[in-house]
Structure 1
């Protein structure tokens, strides 16, 4: 009975050898496959993509990002979100619905710290309001009537508002979502090693051209109006993760000797009094990371830690101003082994 079994093993041996040789050849081919680079303007900023592929995918990437723009850009007069803001009867597509539903969910999870209706307040205060005129209490109170994610609902495939003046602005999540869209495109084409960045929002997968995890920098907040001398606070080695940073790097104001970032609280209508200067969040998708990074800027360090404790799938790197007005850092314990500088 032993002989047939041995014969069976002998017959299987060539197939085993072929399998091993084939696997080695595939791995070698993958390693020898070049890394492409694509870059272009998008969403008022730039995107950069590095990916291991035997062809240039710039055209396809641009086409996908154009779909995101046509869905979510308030600066595009033909976009779906523009039609919603103008109270037109418009067919909502999957991209708009994906982002809208995610935004509403994170608004609930963060108790309104994230809110896609807050733009009129942000515009009223201005991106650098220390150089302008602060809005009066009357102006703020008036705007607060049209601020609040609870005032917007999705009913039978249509957006319903409690006030026609309410405006939706997905700027704090759209770049992250766009990065996810490009990542999904690359994966659908069998590309496993890539890094995509849109205006600082990043998705990484697999390995970099040196066959190592991707290394990304977290910028140091500086009082540099031009941003010319921006330094790197830390370098993090990550793969198969998304990363987004929110921080008013060049818009600070001082009060009582402490430094504060210019972030507007959707619930009060006024700049937050938290010393947090930037929030970097790591998540499974960049849209989620983008929204939570914005939320943490509103919440401040202590409340951000509480949210992180409830969401172990998230990691964060927070830079804040300490009691002496100097920059200090707190980060999730699970990031410790990934920080290289």
Structure 2
């Protein structure tokens, strides 16, 4: 999986100005950073606390939380709870976090007519298998894979998770990182950390950065590597991005890792979506729903879910809802 680079921490021009104006409370904070590999990418945690030892314990607990969630929801680890569910079709006494994230996914699927669906893994497998042979899957292969896609066939309870159709498989790549960001932020806050930026592949901020300013994220241009479209100043909400050039099945990016569950193919109108929401899991899942909805329905979708969003079409044109604090790069 390519490194997720469409959002990254960025200080705006002149960010260092005013450093001497820090309040005594901000100046008293000790800051630390942890970087680690997880979810197929590089993750990072930045946090400040008045007590250095408490900060280290908080970061240790945050890393442990990331590792635990990854161990449950990874498709790459055959021993993960998710891999066992896909292999056996059921999971007895599932981890509570796995059941919780599936419940969140179920709610998004239900409220948006299945535009977000964690059971699209058979489609990904069909495209990946064809790619290894230097081709795209034919219509029959896509049809057969799509017949195994249906979020309503995933039954979730605290006692058991089951897949009701043969050949079904779940992927949480479209929600797990946002969920992890939520959980890690909550862990840090439980240790009294009031200033932090969690990068679990999606972002969850706490208050301000070490300069007492809003955490600022760069939104990358999906059509120009290493170029920014805009800078986003966070407001306490979580931020998630999906783009069509992270994992592709065709050089023109027409076929990529985001699928419309209703057609079996990738949505055709958008190249990238950033969603800002109170929950990282919700923001993460909704980026895929926005892809399926397309630019004509983006504003209505943002209003319906009470979120803000920025979307980029295939021609590189971008729009955003007015609730975002953004400046052009």
Runs of 5+ unmatched residues, structure 2: 1-22
**Partner SS state of residue 222, structure 2:** coil
Query: How far does residue 272 in structure 1 lie from its aligned partner after superposition?
Result: 2.3
Q: Deviations over 1:110-156 (max 9, x none)?
A: 21110000012023223995993111121112112211111222257
Of 157-166 and 111-120, the range deviating more from structure 2: 157-166
Q: What is the 5 A alignment of 1:224-239?
A: 229-239=225-235
- Distance change >3 Å, CA 233–CA 159, structure 1 → 2: same
Query: How far does residue 90 in structure 1 lie from its aligned partner after superposition?
Result: 2.4
Counterpart of 1:327?
A: 316
- Distance change >3 Å, CA 329–CA 156, structure 1 → 2: closer
Q: Distance in 2 between matches of 1:338 and 1:270?
A: 32
**Partner SS state of residue 77, structure 2:** coil
Runs of 5+ unmatched residues, structure 1: 1-26, 224-228
Say if 1:69 and 1:76, in contact at 8 Å, map to a contact too.
no
Q: Distance in 2 between matches of 1:214 and 1:122?
A: 34
Counterpart of 1:304?
A: 298
Q: Distance in 2 between matches of 1:260 and 1:127?
A: 17
Counterpart of 2:259?
A: 264
Counterpart of 2:168?
A: 166
Of 109-118 and 79-88, the range deviating more from structure 2: 79-88
Query: How far does residue 87 in structure 1 lie from its aligned partner after superposition?
Result: 2.6
- Distance change >3 Å, CA 123–CA 87, structure 1 → 2: closer
TM-score, L = length of structure 2: 0.83
Task: Work out which of the two has the higher radius of gyration on C-alpha atoms and give 1 or 2.
Answer: 1
**Matching of residue 31 in structure 1 with residue 31 in structure 2:** no
Say if 1:261 and 1:277, in contact at 8 Å, map to a contact too.
no
- Distance change >3 Å, CA 127–CA 240, structure 1 → 2: farther
**Partner SS state of residue 172, structure 1:** coil
Query: How far does residue 92 in structure 1 lie from its aligned partner after superposition?
Result: 1.4
Q: Distance in 1 between matches of 2:106 and 2:137?
A: 28
More helix by share: 1
Q: Distance in 2 between matches of 1:89 and 1:272?
A: 32
Counterpart of 1:216?
A: 217
Q: What is the 5 A alignment of 1:197-208?
A: 197-199=199-201, 201-208=202-209
- Between 1 and 2, higher relative CO (CA 8 Å, sep ≥ 6) is seen in 2
Q: Deviations over 1:251-285 (max 9, x none)?
A: 49699xxx856342111112323x21000000011
Q: Distance in 2 between matches of 1:194 and 1:79?
A: 29
Q: What is the 5 A alignment of 1:1-341?
A: 28-53=24-49, 54=52, 55-56=55-56, 57-85=58-86, 86-126=88-128, 132-154=134-156, 157-199=159-201, 201-222=202-223, 229-249=225-245, 251=248, 260=254, 262=256, 263-273=258-268, 275-312=269-306, 314-321=307-314, 326-335=315-324, 337-339=325-327, 341=329
Query: How far does residue 30 in structure 1 lie from its aligned partner after superposition?
Result: 4.4
Q: Distance in 2 between matches of 1:151 and 1:279?
A: 28
**Partner SS state of residue 76, structure 1:** coil
Q: How large is the Cα RMSD of the aligned pairs?
A: 2.4
Q: Distance in 2 between matches of 1:186 and 1:291?
A: 23
Say if 2:81 and 2:91, in contact at 8 Å, map to a contact too.
no
Q: Distance in 2 between matches of 1:197 and 1:163?
A: 35
Q: Distance in 2 between matches of 1:34 and 1:281?
A: 31
